[in-house]
Copies of this chain bind each other. A is one copy, B any other.
C-alpha cells in the first residue's frame, strides 16, 4: 500500500478544506501515474485512520473523486482507480517550447469546397505605395487613448461592460447618424444603421440576409476581389459587368437585366475600386431606375467618401433612394486606421433587424468600449478635425505624387488620370511592361508596390496617402531606377 500520509501531506491550518486536500492529492498521484490504473484504494475507514482525519472527510473526498470519474466502486470489493485513466493525462506539459508541439492533422476528413485564398494587403511602416491606406501617423492616438480611458471609467454605470446590442453601441450609432446625414445627405435614424467591423462585414451581413445560393450578383469586371469572395462563398453566380472610364457600365447592366434576374449589384460609385473614377450623376440615376424596374438591391460601398479633392463630391446613391433599393456601406478604417475596426451598414430598418439576427451568431456584437470611445471622438469634434487635417495633407500628397510620376522615365510607360479623390492612383502600364519585375526590383531597393496580379490587367494601384512628401520623392526615385 502507498504511504498516503506522506504522499498527501495535509495542512491542518490551510484554508482549503481537508477533504479537498485529500481529493486533490490523490488526483495528483493518479494523474502522474504514482497510483496506477486499477489500483485498490484504502477503504474510507482505514484511510481515515492513516490520515488521522474524520471518516466523513474521507467519504467527502472519495465522493469528489467519484464525481470526477477518477475512481470507481465495485460492490463489496472496494474502491479502485479507474482503468485507462492515464490516457487522459495531457500529452506533455511543455510550457515554453512553443515550437515543439507535435504537428497534428485533423482526425476527421476535411473538405475544400471553397477557395478563399487571395493575396491579403496589409500595409506597414515600410516605404510603400500601397493599395490606398491612410497614414496612421496622423491618427489622433492620444485622443483615442483618453476617450478609451474615459469610457472605461464610466463603463459599469453606463452598461458598457456587459453584453450589448447586436446593432452596436447606441451612442456611436447616434453620432454616425448625425455625421452621415450631414456629410452625405442621408436622412436616417438609429434604426437604419448597424455598426460593423470594417466595410467587409457590411458586405458580408448584407449578403447573408439578401443572397441565396444560385442568385445572380452583378459586379464590375474590374472590381473588389474580397467582395466577390463573399458572394461566391454564399453560392451566388457572379455576373461581370464591363467597367469603363466612369466605373460600372450601366448600359451593359441594363442588357444583363433583360436577360436574367439579378438579386444584387455591387458598386463603388464615389471612387470606383480599383480604378478610382467617379460615376457621373446620369449613370447613377440610370442605375437606380434599373433597380426599381427589375427589383434588385444596390450595394453601395463608399469606402473613402471623406477624401475628395476636386469640387464638391457627388452625394451617394443612398441619399436619393426614397424607395429602399440601396444598402450603403462605409467604414472609418480608411479615414483613421484599419486597426480601428469600425464600419457601418445603412439600410431600411427591417433589413438592419435581420442583419442583427445574423450578427448575433457571428460575433454577437461589436466592441462596446471602442465604439463608445469613437462616439466620444465624434461628439468632441476630434474626428472632423482629423478628417480636415488628413484631407488637406492627402490633397497635397496627391498633387505631389501625380507630378512626380509624370516625369520621365516613368511617364514613358505609365498612364494615369489624376484621381478626384481617394488615396491611390490607378497606374496603367504599357501592355508589354513587366510590372512584376518592377515590383521585385523596387522591393529589393526598399519600396513595396503591388505586382500587378490583383486585377487581371496591366495596372496597379499606387497609394500616395500613407507616405509623407519625403517618402513620396524617395519612393518615386527608387521606381525610376527599376527599369
Instruction: Point out the residues of chain B lying under 8 angstroms from A141, CB to CB.
Output: 152-153, 155
Query: Is B314 touching A68 in the complex (CB atoms < 8 A)?
Result: yes
Query: Is B338 touching A163 in the complex (CB atoms < 8 A)?
Result: yes
Query: Is B338 touching A161 in the complex (CB atoms < 8 A)?
Result: yes
Looking at the complex, which one of B162, B174, B212, B311 makes contact with A68 (CB distance below 8 Å)?
Answer: B311
Instruction: Point out the residues of chain B lying under 8 angstroms from A358, CB to CB.
Output: 116, 233
Instruction: Point out the residues of chain B lying under 8 angstroms from A350, CB to CB.
Output: 105-106, 110
Instruction: Point out the residues of chain B lying under 8 angstroms from A278, CB to CB.
Output: 67-68
> In the assembly, what is the distance between CA of A101 and CA of B318, in Å?
13
Query: Is B178 touching A69 in the complex (CB atoms < 8 A)?
Result: no
Q: Which stretch in A88-96, A377-385, A430-438, A439-447 binds the other chain?
A: A88-96
> In the assembly, what is the distance between CA of A320 and CA of B263, in Å?
48
- A40 interface residue per 8 A CB criterion: no
Given contacts A107-B295, A323-B107, contact A363 B363 (CB under 8 A): yes
CB distance from A310 to the nearest CB of B (A): 6
Query: Is B351 touching A367 in the complex (CB atoms < 8 A)?
Result: no
Q: Mark A22-59 against chain B: 1 for CB-CB distance below 8 A, else 0.
A: 01100110000000000000000000000000000000
- A292 interface residue per 8 A CB criterion: yes
Query: Is B187 touching A101 in the complex (CB atoms < 8 A)?
Result: yes
Q: Mark A140-154 against chain B: 1 for CB-CB distance below 8 A, else 0.
A: 011011001100110
Query: Is B88 touching A204 in the complex (CB atoms < 8 A)?
Result: no
Query: Is A139 touching B161 in the complex (CB atoms < 8 A)?
Result: yes
Given contacts A20-B310, A107-B325, contact A315 B88 (CB under 8 A): yes
CB distance from A111 to the nearest CB of B (A): 7
Query: Is A137 touching B156 in the complex (CB atoms < 8 A)?
Result: yes
Query: Is B365 touching A341 in the complex (CB atoms < 8 A)?
Result: yes
- A362 interface residue per 8 A CB criterion: yes
Instruction: Point out the residues of chain B lying under 8 angstroms from A192, CB to CB.
Output: 101
Instruction: Point out the residues of chain B lying under 8 angstroms from A102, CB to CB.
Output: 187, 322
Residue of B nearest to A310 (CB): B64
Instruction: Point out the residues of chain B lying under 8 angstroms from A92, CB to CB.
Output: 187
Query: Is B106 touching A361 in the complex (CB atoms < 8 A)?
Result: no
Residue of B nearest to A262 (CB): B108
Instruction: Point out the residues of chain B lying under 8 angstroms from A124, CB to CB.
Output: 159, 162
> In the assembly, what is the distance between CA of A182 and CA of B97, in Å?
12
Instruction: Point out the residues of chain B lying under 8 angstroms from A103, CB to CB.
Output: 349
> In the assembly, what is the distance between CA of A321 and CA of B90, in Å?
8
- A120 interface residue per 8 A CB criterion: yes
Looking at the complex, which one of B98, B113, B226, B263 makes contact with A361 (CB distance below 8 Å)?
Answer: B226
**Size band of the interface chain A makes with B:** 35 or more
Query: Is A185 touching B93 in the complex (CB atoms < 8 A)?
Result: yes
Instruction: Point out the residues of chain B lying under 8 angstroms from A91, CB to CB.
Output: 185, 187, 319-320, 322
> In the assembly, what is the distance between CA of A124 and CA of B289, in Å?
47
Looking at the complex, which one of B155, B181, B233, B282 makes contact with A82 (CB distance below 8 Å)?
Answer: B282
Query: Is A122 touching B162 in the complex (CB atoms < 8 A)?
Result: yes
CB distance from A104 to the nearest CB of B (A): 4
CB neighbors of B among A188-242 (8 A) = 188-190, 192, 196-198, 200-201, 204, 210, 212, 226, 229-230, 233
Residue of B nearest to A136 (CB): B161
Instruction: Point out the residues of chain B lying under 8 angstroms from A363, CB to CB.
Output: 196-198, 200-201, 204, 341, 363
- A424 interface residue per 8 A CB criterion: no
Query: Is B160 touching A339 in the complex (CB atoms < 8 A)?
Result: yes
- A408 interface residue per 8 A CB criterion: no
CB distance from A371 to the nearest CB of B (A): 10
> In the assembly, what is the distance between CA of A192 and CA of B98, in Å?
10
- A474 interface residue per 8 A CB criterion: no
Sample (18) of A-B pairs whose CB atoms are under 8 Å apart: A67-B280, A69-B280, A84-B285, A90-B186, A93-B182, A93-B185, A101-B189, A106-B324, A106-B348, A110-B350, A112-B354, A116-B360, A120-B360, A139-B155, A161-B338, A230-B361, A341-B363, A341-B367
Closest 6 CB pairs of A and B: A69-B280, A90-B185, A69-B281, A136-B161, A123-B162, A197-B363
Beyond the given pairs A98-B177, A106-B324, A201-B362, 18 more chain A to chain B contacts, judged by CB atoms under 8 angstroms and listed by A's residue number, are A70-B281, A82-B281, A87-B320, A89-B185, A91-B319, A93-B187, A95-B181, A104-B348, A106-B347, A116-B357, A118-B360, A121-B163, A133-B162, A148-B149, A200-B361, A204-B362, A204-B363, A370-B370
